Amino acid sequence: MANNSINDVLVLLREEFLAALPERINEIERLVLTLVDKREVEDLLRAVHSLKGTAGTYGFHVYTKICHQMEDTITALIDSQKIYTQHAVNALLNYNDLLNIALELIANNDDNFSSVDAKLLQIDAATAGPQRKALIVEPSPLYASMLSASFSDDYLVKIASDGLCALESLLMQNYDVVLTAMEVPTLNGEAILSALRLSNGKNRNIKAILVTTKDRDSINAADLFNHIVDRNIIKDGSLLRLLD
């Protein structure tokens, strides 16, 4: 009886989430259209992150996927100082359209989200434009920012501070290079690359650079990486040479 009561509550909460979803999507659209300063950007990130978490709780993983990529795009646009441009608005409105498409599919009891997956890849490619894409996996915001600044303007750089989030991004989006620390929360650098190399994903053979204070001989899975470099690499300007 208790289990039935819990299930009834979960069903009710799921229905309430779906009922409130159009309003939440409209609020995200409003925030995209009113991006004028840091406060609006923070409000947008908060709204997208909240939707991602709540959707995952109730099993709507298509929203988790859309919001995760949208968060990455917002962060990349901030890092490249393009968040207040019309290019940014157009890119983010594309995600908003996908939120509505997913809602329509759910309303029709259609769990085939392949069209959403295909559109996510298209948006990702369009957002990057002709630039190459790099993912930095580094828990220290300061050091990650310093690494990002070492890349040339040819790269659109995204940053992940969590190993599991980094792996999800690598499995879902296109990248040209990944640069990771060894010690990263949830999954370390070796675990990220081990899982990626074993996958059938688009980034399976991506160029990978490990940034660490350890000697190569002390790293169990050194062969997973194209380069293993010291964390002082940002001081001598040699990072760009490794990317060629």
pTM score, whole prediction:
0.64
pLDDT digits (tens, 9 = 90+) for 45-93: 999 999 999 999 999 999 999 999 999 889 888 877 788 888 889 989 9
* pLDDT score for 46: 95
Mean pLDDT of 32-55: 93
Give the percent of the chain with pLDDT over 70: 95
- Based on the domain organization, do 113 and 2 belong to the same domain? yes
Query: CATH number for the domain including 26?
Result: 1.20.120.160
The answer to whether residues 74 and 41 touch, using CB atoms and an 8 Å cutoff, is: yes
The range of the structural domain enclosing residue 222 comes to: 130-244
Say if residues 96 and 28 touch (Cβ distance below 8 Å).
Answer: yes
Between residues 138 and 9, the one the model is more confident about: 138
Q: Using alpha carbons only, give the angle 101, 16, 116 rounded to the nearest 5 degrees.
A: 15
The DSSP string of 18-84 is HHHHHHHHHHHHHHHHT--SHHHHHHHHHHHHHHHHHHHHTT-HHHHHHHHHHHHHHHHHHHTT-TT
From 114, 129, 144, the end of a domain falls on 129
Rg of the chain on CA atoms, in Å = 20
Bridge-partner residues for 209, per DSSP? 179, 227
Question: For residue 239, what pLDDT band results from cuts at 50, 70 and 90?
Answer: confident
Return the amino acid letter for 193. L
Domain count, the chain: 2
- Specify the CATH number for the domain of residue 193: 3.40.50.2300
pLDDT tens across 106-141, in order?
999 998 999 999 999 888 877 766 578 899 999 999
Instruction: Indicate whether 89 and 176 sit together in one domain.
Output: no
